[in-house]
Structure 1
Amino acid sequence: MNSPLLDDIGKLIFRVGFGVLFLMHGINKVMHGIDGIESMVVNAGLPAEIAYGVYVGEVLAPLLIIVGWHARIGAILTAITMAFAFTLAHSHEIFELTAHGGWQLELQGMFLLASIAIALSGPGRISLNGR
């Protein structure tokens, strides 16, 4: 196999895996609502309507990433979503470790870094955009 094909297969696996894992959080919000997020947004002094952006960041954006259609835009949206999550929901945990020595926010950190990686590397040729 040639290297460009392996790169594209790697991007496909990374993109789909990340997108599905991120989308699961969005499905939970669709099924159970966003009241908790709305209260965090309001407590931060922001308009409550901003909370509805979670549907864009956790449902639409992962779908864009999974299928590889404007995946870079989807990845930027998931990175913005994670920045909001860090700020609104997890700011008190940034410097905490788990009982096993891992970073308290390693899942959130992995989502943020993976979003940035997809935004920088693109979806690969095995995608709807094909680039």
Structure 2
Amino acid sequence: MLENADLGKLIIRLTLGGLMLFHGIAKLLNGIGFIEGELASHGLPTFLAYGVYVGEIIAPLMVILGYQTRIGALLIIFNMLFAIILVHGNELLSLGRSGGWALELQGFFLFTAVAVIFLGPGRYKLKN
């Protein structure tokens, strides 16, 4: 049987980091006005919206490269908790149109980042 835990960890890191990075690139191209509006509607300072670049660009790159992977995963967790609380709080216990959990994507990012914290980067990483 083929077994390579380090390759599995790499695949998880590339999946989590790569898919999250697409969200960050979209915000680079389209701006963060929506996030600023959500923060303002909750009485929070709008400059906090720039944190999305940390959570959706810097942290995913850390996870992809295996550089300070656990810190990168923790940043993704904070990013997802903010997204769930600010934008998706009313959907927490809802079903989506296809019958699954309405927050499947957010849950994937959140819980996969938690798994990466416990698993660590594995052997295939940048030396740090």
For normalisation by structure 2, the TM-score amounts to 0.95
TM superposition shift of 1:98? 1.9
Q: Which runs of 5+ in 1 are unaligned?
A: none
The residue number in structure 2 matching 1:78 is 76
TM superposition shift of 1:2? 8.0
Aligned partners of 1:75 and 1:118 also within 8 Å = yes
Aligned partners of 1:70 and 1:129 also within 8 Å = no
What is the DSSP-based 3-state SS (H/G/I as helix, E as strand, rest coil) of the residue aligned with 2:43? coil
Aligned residues: 128
The residue number in structure 1 matching 2:66 is 68
Q: Which runs of 5+ in 2 are unaligned?
A: none
Map 1:26-105; keep pairs closer than 5 Å. 26-105=24-103
What is the DSSP-based 3-state SS (H/G/I as helix, E as strand, rest coil) of the residue aligned with 1:25? helix
What is the DSSP-based 3-state SS (H/G/I as helix, E as strand, rest coil) of the residue aligned with 1:127? coil
Aligned partners of 1:65 and 1:75 also within 8 Å = yes
Letter of the aligned partner of 2:53 in structure 1?
Answer: Y
Letter of the aligned partner of 2:19 in structure 1?
Answer: L
Identity of aligned residues (%): 48
What is the DSSP-based 3-state SS (H/G/I as helix, E as strand, rest coil) of the residue aligned with 1:108? helix
Letter of the aligned partner of 1:50 in structure 2?
Answer: L
Query: Once superposed, which parts of structure 1, at least 4 consecutive aligned residues long, lie more than 2 Å away?
Result: none
The one-character-per-residue Cα deviations of 1:83-115 (angstroms, maximum 9, x if unpaired) are: 000000100111110233200001100110001
How well do the aligned residues superpose, as a CA RMSD in angstroms?
1.5
For normalisation by structure 1, the TM-score amounts to 0.93
